[in-house]
Structure 1
Amino acid sequence: DFAERYCAGNRFGWGGCQNADELNAVISRLVMVRRLKKDVLTQLPPKQREQVFLQLPKSDALKQVRDVQEKLKAIKEKQKNEGGDGERTMEEKRLMNSLYLFSARAKLVPVAHYLGELLDAGGSEKFLFFAHHTELLDAAEAAVKQRGVPSIRIDGSTPTSVRGGLVNRFQEDERVRVAVLSIKAAGMGITLTAASTVIFGELTWTPGDIVQAEDRAHRIGQVSSVNVQFLCAKNTVDDIMWASVQNKLENLGQVLDGTSGDHLELHEGKGGGSSKWRGGGVSR
Structure 2
Amino acid sequence: MASVELSTKINALLQELHHINNEDPSLKSIVFSQWTTMLDLLEKPLKARGHQFVRLDGSMAQNHRQTAIESFNTDPNIKIFLVSMKAGGLGLNLTCASRVFLLDPWWNPATEDQAIDRVHRIQQTRSVIVYRFLIEGSIEVRIRELQEKKRTLAQGALGEVGGDKKKLSLEELK
Q: Secondary structure at the match of 2:78?
A: coil
**In structure 2, how many angstroms separate the alpha carbons of the residues matched to 1:255 and 1:210?**
20
Deviation at 1:133, TM superposition (A): 1.4
Q: 1:261 to 1:146 in 2, by over 3 A?
A: farther
Q: Secondary structure at the match of 1:192?
A: coil
1:154 alignment counterpart: 56
Deviation at 1:195, TM superposition (A): 0.9
2:147 alignment counterpart: 245
**In structure 1, how many angstroms separate the alpha carbons of the residues matched to 2:115 and 2:163?**
19
Decide which of 186, 191, 195 is 2:93's aligned counterpart: 191
Deviation at 1:256, TM superposition (A): 2.2
Are 2:118 and 1:220 equivalent residues in the alignment?
A: no
| TM-score between the two structures when normalised by the length of structure 2 | 0.82
| TM-score between the two structures when normalised by the length of structure 1 | 0.52
**In structure 2, how many angstroms separate the alpha carbons of the residues matched to 1:161 and 1:142?**
24
Q: Which amino acid aligns with 2:147?
A: V
Deviation at 1:168, TM superposition (A): 1.3
Deviation at 1:233, TM superposition (A): 1.2
Are 2:16 and 1:118 equivalent residues in the alignment?
A: yes
**Correspondence list, 1:1-284, <5 A:** 109-121=7-19, 122-123=21-22, 124=25, 125-261=27-163
Deviation at 1:258, TM superposition (A): 4.7
**In structure 1, how many angstroms separate the alpha carbons of the residues matched to 2:73 and 2:81?**
10
Query: Please, which runs of 5 or more residues in structure 1 have no aligned partner?
Result: 1-107, 263-284
**In structure 1, how many angstroms separate the alpha carbons of the residues matched to 2:163 and 2:82?**
30
More deviation, 146-155/196-205: 146-155
Q: C-alpha offsets along residues 24-82 of structure 1, whole Å, 9 cap, x if unaligned?
A: xxxxxxxxxxxxxxxxxxxxxxxxxxxxxxxxxxxxxxxxxxxxxxxxxxxxxxxxxxx
Q: Which amino acid aligns with 1:204?
A: W
**In structure 2, how many angstroms separate the alpha carbons of the residues matched to 1:216 and 1:246?**
21
> Max radius of gyration: which structure?
1
Is the 1:115–1:143 contact (alpha carbons within 8 Å) kept by the matching residues of 2?
Answer: no
Is the 1:113–1:143 contact (alpha carbons within 8 Å) kept by the matching residues of 2?
Answer: no
Is the 1:150–1:175 contact (alpha carbons within 8 Å) kept by the matching residues of 2?
Answer: yes
- Counting aligned pairs with the same residue, the percent is 30
**In structure 2, how many angstroms separate the alpha carbons of the residues matched to 1:204 and 1:227?**
18
**In structure 2, how many angstroms separate the alpha carbons of the residues matched to 1:116 and 1:225?**
21
2:172 alignment counterpart: none
Q: Which amino acid aligns with 1:165?
A: T
Q: Secondary structure at the match of 2:158?
A: helix
Q: 1:119 to 1:240 in 2, by over 3 A?
A: closer
Is the 1:130–1:201 contact (alpha carbons within 8 Å) kept by the matching residues of 2?
Answer: yes
**In structure 2, how many angstroms separate the alpha carbons of the residues matched to 1:195 and 1:119?**
13
1:41 alignment counterpart: none
Deviation at 1:118, TM superposition (A): 3.2
Q: Secondary structure at the match of 1:149?
A: coil
Is the 1:192–1:216 contact (alpha carbons within 8 Å) kept by the matching residues of 2?
Answer: yes
Q: 1:220 to 1:164 in 2, by over 3 A?
A: farther
**In structure 1, how many angstroms separate the alpha carbons of the residues matched to 2:144 and 2:13?**
22
User: Which structure would you say has the larger RCO, counting Cα contacts within 8 Å and 6 or more residues apart?
Assistant: 1
